[in-house]
Amino acid sequence: MMERSQILDAMSELKLYGMKAAYDERVSNAAKRQHVPQQVIADLVCAEISEKQARSVRYQMTIARMPLARDIEDFRFDATPVNETLIRGRGRGEFLDHRRNVVLVGGIGTGKTHLATALGRSGIWTGKRGRFFNVVDLVNRLEAD
């Protein structure tokens, strides 16, 4: 039978970081509650899935290069002419499923960056990928290609 340290080393070698982090707690709880082995394995697999999803979201947030960590809930719609119903609908990501774009146009201080970041973050949390560009950087990049 494998010792605890060998099991944890094997989990590291297999890059099962979620299982490794949850191992002691799940095994301890299983012993106290007299769980069957299948339940312990199921708990560890669920911990691994959660860890992989969280790692994927962190990675996608880094790749997206969002300038701010903003969410739609933080936006003050009452202080702007922005259509709250429309933006909240876009926040569900339906436009991505239909391969549509969202273009935000307005003067300085109207919330374009906040809303773009919030929509991007919302998409990433639902498993989509994104990338933030401001117009100047995007035009420069397109001209360079």
Q: What is the CATH number of the domain that holds 118?
A: 3.40.50.300
Question: Do 76 and 140 sit in the same domain of this protein?
Answer: yes
Q: What is the pLDDT of residues 101-120, one digit of tens each?
A: 888 888 888 888 889 899 88
Q: What domain range is 39 assigned to?
A: 4-64
Question: Is residue 145 pLDDT above 80, yes or no?
Answer: no
Question: Is the domain of 133 the same as that of 96?
Answer: yes
pLDDT score for 69: 83
User: How far is it, in rounded angstroms, from Cα 132 to Cα 64?
Assistant: 6
Q: What gap in Å lies between CA 39 and CA 95, rounded to an integer?
A: 40
**Mean pLDDT, the chain, integer:** 88
**How far is it, in rounded angstroms, from Cα 31 to Cα 12?**
23
Tell me what the mean pLDDT of segment 115-128 comes to: 88
**90 class by beta-carbon count within 10 Å (0-12 exposed, 13-18 middle, 19+ buried):** buried
**pLDDT > 90 in the chain, percent:** 30
What's the number of domains the chain is made of? 2
The pTM of the full predicted model, rounded to 2 decimals, is 0.67
